[in-house]
A and B are shown apart, each in its own frame.
Chain A
Amino acid sequence: KQEVTQIPAALSVPEGENLVLNCSFTDSAIYNLQWFRQDPGKGLTSLLLIQSSQREQTSGRLNASLDKSSGRSTLYIAASQPGDSATYLCAVRDGGSQGNLIFGKGTKLSVKP
């Protein structure tokens, strides 16, 4: 059974710092991996999608990497800003393009001005 773990559960950094969020999954047979952002009491916003054949994806100050064989992904946030404060969720898609998304519990990020 696929399990997704995110470390740390919470992170507080001063504005301007670069930071890394970690995600690990137990079964490397994934179709893709997606990083989301969730603001308190809100739905999810997709940040980056990495297909299983890809190693990384970049969008602005965000860079996500994928090492499928070791079951790991990282989300790198450069020059963090208070507006980046949110919970970041990692999710893997199992079993083909219609497979379920399995979520981690998230990392709650707080960026202090």
Chain B
Amino acid sequence: AQSVTQLGSHVSVSEGALVLLRCNYSSSVPPYLFWYVQYPNQGLQLLLKYTSAATLVKGINGFEAEFKKSETSFHLTKPSAHMSDAAEYFCAVIPSGGGADGLTFGKGTHLIIQP
């Protein structure tokens, strides 16, 4: 069975600083990987995804993530944090080619932006 682990339930950074949210996956073959963002009292919105093409993936709002097979990681980064980035972030995994029971989500990381 596949799974994802998000290191750190809460991450706090200063406005303008680098954002790094960690995600490691467990899968026998390289899966598809996703990052979702959830703003307060809203549903989840797709930030970016890795589907076995380019290993460096760019998403919305200046976020990007790099798939590293050797490290089984898919960490999310943004060079300069903005107050509007404060939200909950979820990493999710599915076998490449899909699966009937869909995505498996990590427990989430709450990103706090300090002024």
Asked whether A and B interact, the reply is no
Residues of B within 8 A of A (CB): none
